[in-house]
Structure 1
Amino acid sequence: MTTRRGFLGGAGAVGAATLLGAVPSTANAAEPAAADTASLQLQARNAMRAVNSGMRSNYAVLKSDLIKQLNPVIVVQNDAKGGRFTLVHNGTQVSENPVSEMFELAKSIAHVPLGVFSVIAPYLSDQVPNLPNAARIDPHDLDMVAFKSPTSLDWIAPLTKFSTTLTTARVQLSYANLPAALATSCGAIIDAANKFINDSIRLRSFDMKSFEDFSGSVYPHIRTNMTHAANAQIAGVLDVMKRWRTKVGEEAWKDLYTVVLSQWTTSELNQNSIIIKPCMNPAKVNTHLIDLATVEPPADPIFVALDNLARIVQDNIAAEMVFPVDQKVADALKGKEDLLSDEILKQIGGTATTASTASLATGAAAGGDACPFHQKTAQA
């Protein structure tokens, strides 16, 4: 496209060349037009990008203002103490850890096998041994975890240090005033762990089988600890929910939002979410109880929870107003789906209802799978 400025510039150049007796170059005359075309394209595309920037700016302003309106909200930060609960209500915040110490103490000792594993794992052989659960172990995962030489003895020092920690806890266990069954299980777990550690150090060797013999032997005691931890958590969470329900009032409680922050590994069937769910309005709990997976505990968990909740709440309304003629797309905006997911699934041979490995494999067999990896493996 030649603009008025481009045309005048080109005409001026031709006129000047004619007056000076030179023959104008066709190639040179075309250059300004080509440059203008590229410039206009860039300007046009930047103008299109500015639309999205403007949308995001407006969206952020609405979200920021909406955060201040959210009410009532309970934010749950999963932690080693059973969870820190914060009630946001009428412009105020109150926080507490409602779960008794039995939760933390029971889980602390139940984690002993995991603590030992974390020291020895890098020094394991990267070959899956002949174990009853061998078929459940991914060889590549094992290869990634066992990244140090199995002949190294660098594990002895940290394992000895952990054993010292275990021994200190064992010596003082009787003074912790635990229920008898819990005290017995904690002692058994620590004793078995120290035996595994001492045997490994004495032999200067361990393997996956010797560790699984240890961890398998203490599993019944771990279950005992899990029972005590669960009892403590249920009692504590139900108590705080009951007290805060009275404080908020039945009418406001019907619209309660709850955001549970957790790491990805505990974001489904999260223990706090399970206990909280029956305490909320059954008609709204599926949309108002939100499990929010985080990579690591955020520096400002309350803001993270409210920021995400504001996005969810405004998207719930935006979905119905922006897509009033397509409920399926509206549901995608209101939920966890990306708006393009259905279209992408169609183009690579899947559907929204069969978005799984099995469906993609079926699509590959039918020749509709666009994934280069699937095509390559199918050809192989």
Structure 2
Amino acid sequence: MATRRGFLGTASAVGAATLFTGRSASTASAATAGVTATDEKAARDAIRAVNARMRANYATLKSELTTQLSPVIVVSNNAVGGRFTLINNGTQVETVDPVPEYFELAKSIAHVPLGVFSVLAAYLSDQVPNIPDADRIDPHDLDMVVTKAPGDKGWITPLNAFASTLRTAHTKLGTANLPLDLENSCDKILSEAVKFIDASVTAESFDMVSFNRFAAAVYPSIRVNMTFAATAQITGIEGLMKRWRTLIGEKAWSDLYVTVLSIWTTAELNQASIIIRRTMNQAKVDTHLIDLPTVETPSDPIFVALDNLARIVQDNIAAEMVFNTDLKVADALKGKEDLLSDEILQQIGGTAPTARTASFGTAAATASAGACPITGHTAAV
């Protein structure tokens, strides 16, 4: 790629500094004599205006493109297995929560140990606990989680409240009409959790060894719940994809874009993405299935998805037309790399970690202000 490395490599330290400060000792007085501070500011503002105008042009193109994208499926991950919206020819055709209800129920009970931990975590000692594989725990991370002084009993009231919720669920479990294996695994998780809580409250004491014993005891049952949840999600999503494929036709489906919005912690190997990719045109799936990690669930996921997808699509075309003499830089524009990353790494002599980037790339799931062309809503990520 064309760079300034050759020039910087031969410049002296003083010369390199001059490049970025805009002055050298020998020319400072001459420049000062001919150019006032006001002139310099005006010139620099004029240069900044070029970028501002570029960004305005870019935003206009992106805004127009969001109304053209079709067909698109937007997936917003949620507690019930995902909300799916089909957009075709500029129209929001349908929004569906396709996953059977037992997905949510299985995960709800599987989360019980995490719920117990969440109450106790702030009251842990700031010392790494004496448990198997304790070396995997970062002591500083542990210190950040612990906010209460040793001996603080503030965990008892919220843990008792959680136990009350667990007992109610346990009492009513038999009338929830769950598959027998799922009911049995939920029964085991709930009963063991109540037993652990009761013992801890009675003793007014807990430790990570006893908590780990509880967690290990219910782990096989958690795996059963995970199996049921995965089956529910596969069945629901694949059924919906088959119906929508028939609805819009094979030709349109072959060009389908899918954007999956998820919290960062579930963005890698996202379950919805894994299932959906099997139903897409395999020749295009690596470039048309886009995972968009978000800081939090956006208030208008459709706007966020279309705004980012438009950015990706137009960057794909721009990359090949603007950087057609340097395909490495073109690929960077099409992916997640910053265009200056290679230059910076070479100047500091560093190397980047191996990228795990699909060729289509992933834009940051943030959106500029504006109204969604489909919903009419304003973005808020």
Q: Give the TM interval when normalised to the shorter protein.
A: 0.7 to 0.9
- Rounded Cα–Cα distance in structure 1 between residues aligned with 2:150 and 2:79: 33
Shift of 1:354: 5.8
- Rounded Cα–Cα distance in structure 1 between residues aligned with 2:79 and 2:299: 16
- Rounded Cα–Cα distance in structure 2 between residues aligned with 1:355 and 1:349: 18
Equivalent in the alignment of 2:53: 54
Letter in 1 for 2:159: L
8 Å Cα contact 2:69/2:90 also seen in 1: no
Shift of 1:38: 1.4
Cα-to-partner distance string for 1:62-109 (whole Å, 9 max, x where unaligned): 000000000000000110100000000122211000000010000000
Equivalent in the alignment of 2:122: 122
Where does 1:60-79 land on structure 2 (aligned, <5 Å)? 60-79=59-78
Equivalent in the alignment of 2:85: 86
Pair 41,146 (structure 1): closer, same or farther in 2 beyond 3 Å? same
Equivalent in the alignment of 1:197: 197
Cα-to-partner distance string for 1:32-82 (whole Å, 9 max, x where unaligned): x75952111111111110000000000000000000000000000110100
Structure (1/2) with the larger helix percentage: 1
Pair 128,353 (structure 1): closer, same or farther in 2 beyond 3 Å? closer
Equivalent in the alignment of 1:314: 314
Cα-to-partner distance string for 1:271-330 (whole Å, 9 max, x where unaligned): 000000111111111110000000111010000000000000000000011100000000
- Rounded Cα–Cα distance in structure 2 between residues aligned with 1:34 and 1:221: 81
8 Å Cα contact 1:170/1:190 also seen in 2: yes
Letter in 2 for 1:185: S
The SS at the match of 1:154 is coil
- Rounded Cα–Cα distance in structure 2 between residues aligned with 1:341 and 1:208: 43
Letter in 1 for 2:323: F
Larger C-alpha radius of gyration, 1 or 2? 1
- Rounded Cα–Cα distance in structure 1 between residues aligned with 2:228 and 2:278: 21
8 Å Cα contact 1:99/1:233 also seen in 2: yes
8 Å Cα contact 1:110/1:189 also seen in 2: yes
Contiguous gaps of at least 5 residues in structure 2: 1-28, 357-381
- Rounded Cα–Cα distance in structure 2 between residues aligned with 1:281 and 1:249: 13
Please say which of residues 85-94 and 218-227 is displaced more in the overlay: 85-94
Equivalent in the alignment of 2:250: 250
The SS at the match of 2:278 is helix
TM-score (norm 2): 0.83
Letter in 2 for 1:253: W
Letter in 1 for 2:174: S
Where does 1:225-304 land on structure 2 (aligned, <5 Å)? 225-304=225-304
Does residue 171 of structure 1 match 2:196? no
Shift of 1:350: 2.2
Shift of 1:146: 1.2
Does residue 109 of structure 1 match 2:122? no
Pair 342,173 (structure 1): closer, same or farther in 2 beyond 3 Å? same
Equivalent in the alignment of 1:338: 338
Shift of 1:129: 2.0
Letter in 2 for 1:61: T
Contiguous gaps of at least 5 residues in structure 1: 1-29, 357-380
8 Å Cα contact 1:74/1:85 also seen in 2: yes
- Rounded Cα–Cα distance in structure 1 between residues aligned with 2:325 and 2:150: 62
Cα-to-partner distance string for 1:6-38 (whole Å, 9 max, x where unaligned): xxxxxxxxxxxxxxxxxxxxxxxx9xx759521
Pair 353,144 (structure 1): closer, same or farther in 2 beyond 3 Å? closer
- Rounded Cα–Cα distance in structure 2 between residues aligned with 1:265 and 1:355: 18
Letter in 2 for 1:262: S
- Rounded Cα–Cα distance in structure 2 between residues aligned with 1:121 and 1:348: 41
- Rounded Cα–Cα distance in structure 1 between residues aligned with 2:74 and 2:237: 12
TM-score (norm 1): 0.84
- Rounded Cα–Cα distance in structure 1 between residues aligned with 2:197 and 2:283: 53
The SS at the match of 1:218 is helix
8 Å Cα contact 2:80/2:103 also seen in 1: yes
RMSD, aligned CA: 1.8
**Larger relative contact order (Cα-Cα within 8 Å, sequence gap ≥ 6):** 2
Equivalent in the alignment of 2:209: 209
- Rounded Cα–Cα distance in structure 2 between residues aligned with 1:345 and 1:60: 30
The SS at the match of 1:279 is coil
Letter in 1 for 2:91: T
8 Å Cα contact 1:103/1:228 also seen in 2: yes
Pair 171,346 (structure 1): closer, same or farther in 2 beyond 3 Å? same
8 Å Cα contact 1:345/1:355 also seen in 2: no
The SS at the match of 2:291 is strand
- Rounded Cα–Cα distance in structure 2 between residues aligned with 1:151 and 1:352: 46
Cα-to-partner distance string for 1:223-274 (whole Å, 9 max, x where unaligned): 0000000000000000000000011110111110000000000001000000
The SS at the match of 1:226 is helix
- Rounded Cα–Cα distance in structure 2 between residues aligned with 1:175 and 1:71: 45
- Rounded Cα–Cα distance in structure 1 between residues aligned with 2:150 and 2:84: 44
